[in-house]
Structure 1
């Protein structure tokens, strides 16, 4: 495929060189300052290590700072003229005919009613937009627990009836879930990929308005060289204090960062795995994922597949764009810090795998290799920061407990090296670092004030108060994340297996959970601070910004997981976002659908699948015909134990063996209804009869 437009690539190159000049120039100046802040001015091995780690970390945060500044300037001047939306007037897009598009929802042990209600809201919003006939919906399940996938099948059937969506809403469950989510999508593409020109990928917590879905398809039709078009999802529906902090920060700060990132990456953007539209033929042809051929971490299936798929799409000559102007794209935040960090264990491993692809995969564009590096640094920065703190502690010990070494290791010459301190330089360096971290947040506040949209965040005063609260909490959480991410990186490098499971969407953390997960960090923080106090008072005060958050990690964790503080702040219009103030039909529908009852019974999905004749026929139709001439392949002992003592007498694997077999499932229905009144099934039938009266 030939290059579409050298013009945007030249602009992208200029912007990237400008970014690099700012980042590396600022890092060189900061490194020079640190060199003269250190007592021996880099004359020891420890100080050289500190200088190297500081330069990497400072450059890392400088990239984020300048990305936000670019975004602020572009939004101040009316937006990026090179974006896809700016290329095509709204009236031209409105006249663009649509092509058939698959809306794909991969699920794995998600809350069934909650997840399917979100998809129902998307369906209804497309219906309101009058463009439903161009879209098909696919629920792709990898769930392994029979209680979950049987409930999914029953909920899918109810949803088809409610929406009159037969032939438009499909469900498939893989019995062997190879390669996680990417394998699930690949299985769908092999079977049905050629039915649709485009594919929109959702997560279990994704919501996309009908207007946005239509506009995405129209842009893809107008831009045949675009292989992936990524939206910038806003976080919504936060209930716990932690989730509300995350959604406020995302909604206020991300427009700047997304605008700046899109302007720098342009057609070499990344794919985030959801809330995006893909050109199906190109994706099938060029984005197949092979297993890594190395050892340990760098062997086996690729866990974080989205960046890799974007890089492969770019290698094939297609463009990948992030379009922040596509609004009404939503997702949700994990409700607690523990849930976020648990998810990060998988993400850390997946992103570190990208190191092998970044270095050795041929033909990838440089911008996509840098996207890999960005993802790697999202987690590698934590152990680097930890190493910097360790070296700083060693330096403090050497300067306090050991005699001054006028000829330290690495110093050459006959003239002694005198240690000296420059506190005013250290203060300037600290101020510049804080500016990199926090100035983008206040640029976001200025952006909203200039646009006159502060009211959506509670007004100017409340918005500023919310930002200050978010800064305090982010400072408290930073050392906790540092320690946990460092552990995740070490475990990944040691090839410790990570657990792939459904995410908690609503639960609060208990004190026991908080103490178990945060106790090591609390001990480390208290021990380090106590050691610093005995070593030197100044070093003790220097350690407090890291030590105090670690000591308070458990109560912070519990407080942030509670819905009460989040609700109280919302009532005072703190940490609010525009979607909560103005409302949106899509979000109103999702909230209403999720508040309704799920339509099941107290029996449980397995018992209902066996006893309910309508559901039994449904599950039999979806099961595979594994027996012959009505003969169940499962051992008689297994079916006998199931009928005698109920589902709890069998393991998950044994239940799957029975319930995935069409003949067994039909036979179980007959045997359960013939069971005696004192049996387990007889009691369930009696309860079912009592409930119907």
Structure 2
């Protein structure tokens, strides 16, 4: 392990101090100006409790968007300067990095109830591209399943075997399913490390929809080999494969605006970056020694397992004396976007719970200032919506008091001087335009940055297409902002009350139906209608001010449905809008993914039924099933489940019962032989007959 002193004297440390100091001053000065403008706008200039609350919330929110603005400016500066000289890959000459030898590296895919075809197609594409580099011998692939439903994990197992057979004997692809699902993804990775971690120097963690080019994987290992002080190297994944309109808009925003924000974030964090949980390489020995996460011992949502583990693991790696880097210069790292707004919000519900848990670590000893800022940023990603909602409530209350109650000339009981309420419309206009500038200037900078990148501009359809796409993205973003605000506010409240959060596989292939959309968005639409009606009754001018928030909430259901439609996304693609560089010229790894053949042949049988009936599949699963000892209680349970399966069919068994039976070698064998001896007029007998007729055909 490199000693902590090995970080001292590194040039990037002084650069980080200077950059962060300047960044803090710029954000502070801009926020102070906004605070002054808010005080000037309010009728009592901050003399009442309600106005003081408005000022406090306004300052926090403006500081939040100001930080994003200056981060984009920072990224624009370094991109125009040719890149950050302190980046880990840039410190190594191209000729030198090509001479660095590789080391044993595991590429792991922790999955839970995912689309097995998509996950393994991505793995196969990554494997093939890695093979093209000639360095495949240094890598092994592991699919680590936490799936509980046997119809899912049996399909995973079969698909992995089929993929390994298709790629040939040289394909070192392994599948393991945990029997005990403890601590979610962190427990899954920990289980892998306990079993195989000491075989590898590095581990590259992938998500279920991750794809990486072979060149990127090899470069990551070489950077780690060249600098033993790096514990984690995080890439910046680009979104690909968007089909629905919602996914296309997110993909376009990622590819147009993302480079500025990522470059700015990397320039401010430097060697104190964060880990995003996937598409990153980790030094295994250091991770095993220092990144084990304890159970939280707080109250409510601050108790139990750490849900959003990645930021915490990065902080632990730093505390142990290693550096953590985000390198935007590593190209060829990809992932996918949720296809619908509903799926995005469902994912955000889980992330909100996990990010708010970072309150537990925010002020703990041994955490660097950059990681504290990352924790605060993750918390604000969802708390900002609750604050915005609170701001709207406070503004409504302020106007109601000013309109319905007598004017209060002595709002401060301790002051003998009266306060004359006054509105400053010119300050309100200045504040509104300043806020809009801070929000939308980064998008303009991104378009300007694209003007200097001829190849990327060409692959995105040209400047006219990009400009039109930017307008579409901005309009949709304004429509979705109130919807996300209301949803995130609810998630914050749910988390504070420690209500249960469901962690499951992500939908990647289905549209959103009208029933789901209306059910999800009807409460928000009713709230928006009530608020707008109250605003109109209170003061017509306030009603017009409320419309940019109320109208998107009223239209949330149809907007959500339209955005989820694959036909809408394809129409935008045909019109040349929202095009990403990978669509204009797909790299080989993406082409392989798009052309991936199915890994499983379609069957009228469920995977559980096929494992029981089909002799070939039965043989495979029987060989891989657990060989349990014949204890009396176990023998009784086995006999009961076999009898129940024969009498009621697969549908008569619960998920847990099917999972136990198909993972019990003797029980599966008993059921298989009994099914083949079943009468032809029973459900199992009819399925056996149908299978035989298919074989004859």
Given the two structures, how large is their TM-score scaled by the length of structure 1?
Answer: 0.98
Closer/same/farther in 2, CA of residues 13 and 411 from structure 1, 3 Å limit: farther
Any idea what SS the aligned residue of 1:3 has?
helix
Question: Aligned pair in 2 of structure 1 residues 167, 558: CA closer, same or farther (>3 Å)?
Answer: closer
Q: Secondary structure, in 3 states, of the residue corresponding to 2:271?
A: coil
**In the alignment, which of 536, 540, 543 is matched to residue 537 of structure 1?**
540
- The alpha-carbon deviation at position 415 of structure 1 amounts to 2.3
Q: How does 1:322-361 map to 2 (within 5 A)?
A: 322-359=326-363, 361=364
Deviation digits for residues 515-561 of structure 1 (CA, Å, limit 9, x no counterpart): 10000100111111111111112111111111111111111111111
Per-residue CA deviation, residues 137-158 of structure 1 (Å, 9 max, x unaligned), is: 0000000001001111111111
1:308 aligns with 2:312: yes
Residues 1:384 and 2:380 are matched in the alignment: no
- Matches for 1:349-428 after TM superposition, within 5 Å: 349-359=353-363, 361-408=364-411, 410=412, 412-428=414-430
8 A contact 1:241–1:563 mirrored in 2: yes
More displaced, 620-629 or 551-560?
Answer: 620-629
| Distance (Å, rounded) in 2 between the aligned partners of 1:627 and 1:655 | 19
Instruction: Name the structure 1 match of 2:679.
Output: 676
SS of alignment partner, residue 103 of structure 1: strand
For residues 182 and 636 of structure 2, the distance between their equivalents in structure 1, rounded to whole angstroms, comes to 24
Cα offset for 1:629?
A: 9.7
Q: Does 1:249 align with 2:253?
A: yes
* Equivalent in 605, 623, 626 of residue 625 of structure 2: 623
Q: Could you give the per-residue CA deviations for residues 49-74 of structure 1, whole angstroms, max 9, x where no partner exists?
A: 00000000000011111000000011
Aligned to 2:108: 104
Q: Which residue of 2 aligns with 1:177?
A: 181
The one of 421, 438, 441 equivalent to 1:439 is 441
Q: Does 1:319 align with 2:307?
A: no
SS at match of 2:402: helix
Offset of 1:416 from its aligned partner?
Answer: 1.2
Distance 2:40 2:583 in 1: 50
Q: Tell me by how many angstroms 1:398 deviates.
A: 1.2
Segments ≥4 residues shifted beyond 6 Å: none
| Unpaired stretches in structure 2, ≥5 consecutive residues | none
Aligned 1:66-85 pairs, distance under 5 A: 66-85=70-89
Conserved 8 A contact 1:109-1:148: yes
Please state how far the C-alpha of 1:637 moved relative to its aligned partner: 2.8
Task: Report if the CA contact (8 A) 1:245-1:470 is conserved.
Answer: yes
Structure 2 counterpart of 1:449, from 435, 451, 455: 451
Report if aligned partners of 1:178, 1:184 keep a CA contact under 8 Å in 2: yes
Counterpart in the other structure of 2:296 = 292
1:634–1:658 CA contact under 8 A, matched in 2: no
SS of match in other structure, 2:281: strand
Q: Secondary structure at the match of 2:50?
A: helix
CA contact (8 A) 1:383 1:486 kept: yes
Q: How many Å apart are 1:166 and its aligned residue?
A: 6.2
CA contact under 8 A between 1:233 and 1:275: conserved in structure 2? yes
Q: Is the 8 A contact 2:638 2:661 kept in 1?
A: no
Match of residue 40 from structure 1: 44
Q: CA deviation at 1:627?
A: 3.2
Assess if the C-alpha contact under 8 Å between 1:44 and 1:411 holds in 2.
no
CA RMSD of aligned residues (A): 1.4
**1:278 is matched with which residue?**
282
Tell me the SS of whatever aligns to 1:109: coil
Partner of 1:485: 488
The match for 1:651 is 654
| Alignment check: 8 A CA contact 2:642 2:670 kept | no
Corresponding residue number in structure 1 for 2:13? 9
Gaps of 5+ in 1: none
Quote the Cα distance in structure 2 between the aligned partners of 1:446 and 1:589: 33
**1:232-289 Cα deviation digits (max 9, x unpaired):** 0001111110000000000110100000000000000000000000000000000001
Following superposition of structure 1 onto structure 2, how do residues 111-260 of structure 1 map, counting pairs within 5 Å? 111-165=115-169, 168-260=172-264
The within-5 A match list for 1:450-599 is 450-452=452-454, 453-593=456-596, 596=598, 598-599=600-601
Greater shift after overlay, 645-654 or 257-266? 645-654
Aligned partner (choices 588, 607, 610) of residue 608 of structure 1: 610
Q: Report the Cα distance in structure 2 between the residues aligned to 1:435 and 1:22, rounded to whole angstroms.
A: 15
| Shift in CA distance, 596/155, structure 1 to aligned 2, threshold 3 Å | closer
**Distance in 2 (alpha carbons) for counterparts of 1:523 and 1:600:** 45
Contact 1:633 1:664 in 2 (8 A): no
Q: Report the Cα distance in structure 1 between the residues aligned to 2:582 and 2:44, rounded to whole angstroms.
A: 54
For 1:72-115, what per-residue CA distance to the aligned partner results, in whole angstroms no more than 9, with x for missing partners?
01111111111112101112111111101000001100111121
Give the conservation status (yes or no) of the 8 Å contact 1:267–1:319.
yes
Judge which range, 476-485 or 612-621, deviates more: 612-621
Cα drift, residue 167 of structure 1: 6.9
Mapped partners of 1:413, 1:193: distance in 2: 69
SS in 2 for 1:441: helix
Alpha-carbon deviation of 1:117?
A: 1.1
Tell me the secondary structure at the aligned position of residue 362 of structure 2. Answer: helix
For residues 318 and 602 of structure 2, what CA distance do their matches in structure 1 show?
46
**Partner SS, residue 334 of structure 2:** strand
CA positional deviation for 1:165 = 4.3
How far off its partner does 1:672 sit?
A: 1.4
Counterpart contact for 2:232–2:282, Cα < 8 Å: yes
> How far off is 1:641 after superposition?
1.7
CA contact (8 A) 1:50 1:388 kept: yes
1:638-693 deviation line (CA, Å, top 9, x unaligned): 21121233210111111112112111112222111111211222111111122221
Alignment length (residue pairs):
690
Deviation at 1:6, TM superposition (A): 3.2
Deviation per residue, 1:372-412 (Å, 9 max, x gap): 1110000000111111110000111011111111011x354
Question: 2 CA distance for matches of 1:139 and 1:600?
Answer: 22
CA contact (8 A) 2:638 2:667 kept: no
Per-residue deviation at 1:632?
4.8
CA distance in 2, matches of 1:6, 1:420: 55
Instruction: Note if contact 2:117-2:598 (Cα within 8 Å) is conserved in structure 1.
Output: no
Give CA-to-partner distance per residue, 1:195-230, whole Å, 9 cap, x none: 110000000100000010000000000111000000
Shift of the 629–388 alpha-carbon distance from structure 1 to 2, 3 Å rule, reads closer
2:488 is paired with a residue of what secondary structure? helix
C-alpha separation between the residues in 2 aligned to 1:655 and 1:608?
Answer: 13
Find the counterpart in structure 2 of residue 63 from structure 1. Answer: 67
